[in-house]
Amino acid sequence: MLEKHSTWYVIVIAVSAGMAGLLYGFDTAVISGAIGYLQELYDLSPAMEGWVISCVMIGGVLGVAASGFLSERFGRKNIMIVAAVLFIISALGSAFATGVTMLVWARIIGGFGIGFASALSVTYISECAPPAIRGRLGSLYQLFTIFGICATFYINYGVANSGSYAWGLEEGWRWMLGYGTIPGIIFLILLFFIPESPRYLIKKGRDSEAFQILKRINGETIAKKESKEIKASLDVEQSYSAKELLKPGLRMALGVGIFLALFNQVIGMNAVTYYGPDIFRSVGFENNTEFLATSIIGSVQVVFTIVALLLIDKLGRKKLMAIGSSLMAIFMVLIGSVFYFEPANSGPLLIIFIAGFTAAFCVSMGPIPWIMIPEIFPNHLRAKAVGIATMFLWGANWAIGQFTPVLINNMGGAFTFWMFAVINVICFTFVMTIVPETKNKSLEEIGELWKPKKSGKQIAREG
């Protein structure tokens, strides 16, 4: 059991690093408010509309790809500081963009920052948090992501109601994008109050500094034990490369990590987040009520992410993902049916179905992949493996942002959302068949799950 002061110290560390989620959440949501104005202002085609939204993921993929190498060389904390600065620059550049090209470049720069932060924040937390509360603390990243999304939906709604439509077309969208400086500055300030990862410090020979941090977290006895375990795993790490992830056992861990990363993105939540106002506008919402409807969905995200925070270390990762993916499939069928049958006054029904889907997502495939991806890999390969899995996550994120408007424009809303229903059925199947339960397991115990099973002949020879 952690002492009270130790618990608060761990929470402060986790909250500060988890605030990286504000950056991701803001960027995910803000463009949904601006894109309608941008589409009209610059006469964007569906493909170009998708590019303006998804270009940030190009920077994100590159940021994730570089985050492992850079964090091993310069430290988790320092690279997260760089991420905050890049995001601030991006928000300012987007607000003062003089055309689509400048806006796209500004968003790509922001993508670098978000890529760095998304890859390192949860990894940093997992390296600092005790096993008993690691799930809850790791889910803080997702909680702040959802809080950022919800707050940004309301900011978009407020800005849209601050002037005429003509004002929004010329100035309003700039204010929406420019507000991104606020989460960037908050994250930057908080990072100066947290320590470097103990694992990174020990790797750099700063054992005494690392021990003091571990001591504050878990007390002296456990700190000594953890210091020895970290040193032992670092000794092993020196002789391993990313190719080890392709060997039997670890290959399965990598597959699970990539699966979790992909399904965090492709099950449909980001389609709703990126294009929420457009989706509601297509069933009759107008006069900025489409922004209000999207804000209601954002509030649902906050409430049920908090529910997930309370349940994740009690019910377990696997059970929540199985329940959530099955419910999401049902709600996606219902959402698609609204578009297929096109009933009059279908707006309230659509809000209910999207809210149900959102609630299921937020207690399952929303926060859990961000927690499990860092914890399922052995210490000596975690940074490399998380980088690979997160690259797939960002790649899938790009695909959703780029192709959702094309699908809706060419195939219709019904086909698009029924396609997401099928993807959720596939997600449920994979969760039930290949994803292990990691609740209350130490990182070392989780590593044992991936060791290849020995054959009877091998056991007999060793005997």
pLDDT digits (tens, 9 = 90+) for 93-114: 999 999 999 999 999 999 999 9
When mean pLDDT is compared across 22-36, 337-351, 379-393, 404-418, the lowest value belongs to 379-393
Confidence category of residue 457, pLDDT binned at 50, 70, 90: very low
Q: Please, which pLDDT band fits residue 455 given cuts at 50, 70 and 90? A: very low
| Contacting residues for 447 by C-beta, under 8 A, at least 6 apart | 377, 378, 379
Q: Is pLDDT at 463 greater than 50 in this prediction?
A: no
333 closest CA partner among 261, 423, 235: 423
- Give ∠ CA 113-200-228 in degrees, rounded to 5: 150
**Six-digit token pair at 243?**
């190719």
- 4-194+240-453: which CATH topology? Growth Hormone; Chain: A; (1.20.1250)
Compute how many other C-beta atoms are within 10 angstroms of the C-beta atom of residue 47. 12
User: Per-residue pLDDT tens for 130-151?
Assistant: 766 766 676 677 778 888 888 9
Question: What secondary structure letter does DSSP report for 377?
Answer: S
Residue range 416-432, pLDDT digits in tens: 999 999 999 999 999 99
CA distance 93 to 112: 14
Q: Using one digit for the tens of pLDDT, what is the confidence trace for 342-374? A: 766 778 899 999 999 999 999 999 888 877 887
Q: State the residue for tokens 């698609």.
A: 336
Mean pLDDT confidence for 288-312 = 87
Q: What is the mean pLDDT of residues 243-251?
A: 74
Residue 81 CB burial class (10 angstroms; 0-12, 13-18, ≥19): middle
- What's the pTM? 0.78
* pLDDT on residue 343: 66
Q: How confident is the model at residue 337 (pLDDT cuts 50, 70, 90)?
A: very high
Q: How far apart are CA 453 and CA 345, in angstroms?
A: 58
Break the chain into its structural domains and give their ranges. Answer: 4-194+240-453
